[in-house]
Amino acid sequence: MHVAAIPAFDDNYIWAIQPYAGSDAIIVDPGEAEPVRQWLKGHDIGIMAFFITHHHWDHTNGLMDLLRDYQVPVYGPRGGHIEGITIPLGHLERFSVDGDDRAYTVFTTPGHTLDHICFYTPGHAFVGDTLFSAGCGRMFEGTAEQFHKSLQCLAELPESTNVYCAHEYTAANLEFALAAEPENQDIHQYSTQVKALREHGLKTLPSTIGLEKQINPFLRAANADEFARLRQWKDQF
């Protein structure tokens, strides 16, 4: 399985999953159509399916445009509120995409939005805006209790699981993480690595569940109250 990052907008990543070498791709959260088209053209492949994590425009705006050229299944949250979804999914539902032998499991992860879901297959988690490296999404629609529970659900995945977040926010998140946990040497060390990567224009993703357990204050929050305090602080940081 090969996963490529397609940059979009200022800091989004649209993830392209190729189950096998040279195969068509599963496109995760196509907020913009043209970067996807250019990436497909450069690799001389098509699309086998779309995964949608939540309703925000920067994750969905390119979907209907691309569906004009690729009549393929669209897996996403239940609710009927996202145009184009053909296979709505809920918590712990499992499915396979035609052309990919892997099984995917869905986790509902409300917090950033109420409809947010994540897609997991052993070794890989596509987490949208629920979990960022060293951070998490803003709490637009859910409660602190919901968001904390969602993050703990992801924390239970194997530590070697690659975490594919939808934004390149790592450097800024680490500045807050250092303020929140100034004695955490793992955060200090990783901040140095990330600074070097970004100075060379390189991405910091995917992360891993094991790394996030070491450096992410939100994933390390002991309870919903602590999470709420951190989230409010980060919103004003």
- pLDDT of 76 reads 98
Contact indicator for 132, 165 with CB cutoff of 8 Å = yes
Residue 54 annotated in active site:
yes
Considering the candidates 24, 29, 100, 112, report the single residue annotated as catalytic. 112
Considering the candidates 24, 29, 55, 59, report the single residue annotated as catalytic. 59
- pLDDT of 8 reads 97
- pLDDT of 82 reads 98
Q: What is the DSSP letter of 46?
A: -
- pLDDT of 38 reads 98
Residue 148 annotated in active site:
no
- pLDDT of 228 reads 98
Q: Nearest Cα to 135, choosing from 227, 198, 53, 223? A: 227
Going from the first residue of the chain to its last (237 residues), give the mean pLDDT of each consecutive group of 10, the final group possibly shorter.
97 97 96 98 97 98 97 97 97 96 97 98 98 98 97 98 98 98 98 97 98 98 98 96
Q: Domains, the chain, ranges and CATH?
A: 2-235 (3.60.15.10)
The Cα–Cα gap between 161 and 130 comes to 15
Contact indicator for 121, 107 with CB cutoff of 8 Å = no
- pLDDT of 28 reads 98
The annotated binding site is made up of: 54, 56, 58-59, 112, 129, 167
The annotated binding site for Zn(2+) is made up of: 54, 56, 58-59, 112, 129, 167
Q: What is the pTM for the complete model shown?
A: 0.97
